[in-house]
With several copies, the nearest count.
Chain A
Amino acid sequence: MFELVLGNSGGNEKLVFLRGEIDIYSAPDFRENLFQAIGDCKEDIVLDCSELSYIDSMGLGIMVAALKRAKQNDSNVRIRNPKPNVKKLFKITGLDKVFIMEDSK
């Protein structure tokens, strides 16, 4: 029940769709696929969370690791359209100040 799909945004950003639940079971999958997607790209990574129904500290930790990698490449990680429950976790952990949070809706 977790999927990571690479998008084609056209602009100078790398679009990554997250779907389903990120927990201890799916975290290894998420980590591997995310870092493979990032590679050494210099563009911003956009994590589209509109279909992400669940995340916990493990998933957030992986996003933080991805952000560190991105900063090394002088790029950034942006969190797009998280559902209220996901947004809440960014908020209570203070990670909403660390990532660029985007609401296009």
Chain B
Amino acid sequence: MKPLDSVSVLVPAKAEYVSVVRLTASGIASRLGFDIDDIEDIKVSISEVISRMIDKRVSSGRIAIDFHLFSDSIRIDFRLSDSSPKDIFAGGADDLAFEIIRSLMDEVNLNTDNQALLSMVKKLERAV
């Protein structure tokens, strides 16, 4: 399915830019109509992924974050400007960060075929 709109952010793979992406994400998510709790979930999940990329020095360059907006959901794709190992969640299911993302998002896909290292989805009006 084609998104209604897409917003992309490209930041250096450095710790000081993670909060910039969080701020951008909260702006986009609030525009789409997510409530405060869902916006917080999205911010935390994005931070976990980017921090892991930076921490594992997966990228020496820039990290691209694509926000794809749909009528009932948002999909966030993470791309890297350089080729690099793709095992950012080496710890697997036991991993604290991965556990958090899996709990907070509705879908998480690693190594997707649309060039994204990781892709995750949050639905609007999520059935709890």
Contact = CB atoms under 8 A, between A and B. Distances in A.
Interface of A: 1, 21, 23-25, 54, 56-58, 60-61, 84-85, 88-89, 92-93
B104 interface: yes
A24 B55 contact: yes
Interface of B: 15-16, 18-19, 22, 37, 40, 43-44, 47-48, 50-51, 54-55, 96-97, 99-100, 103-104
Nearest to A55: B44
A100 to B, nearest CB: 19
Given A25-B18, A57-B48, 14 more contacts: A23-B15, A24-B15, A24-B51, A25-B16, A56-B48, A56-B100, A57-B51, A60-B96, A85-B37, A85-B40, A92-B100, A92-B103, A93-B96, A93-B100
A36 B54 CA distance: 26
Q: Which 8 A-B residue pairs are closest in the complex by CB-CB distance?
A: A24-B51, A25-B15, A57-B97, A92-B103, A57-B96, A24-B15, A85-B40, A56-B47
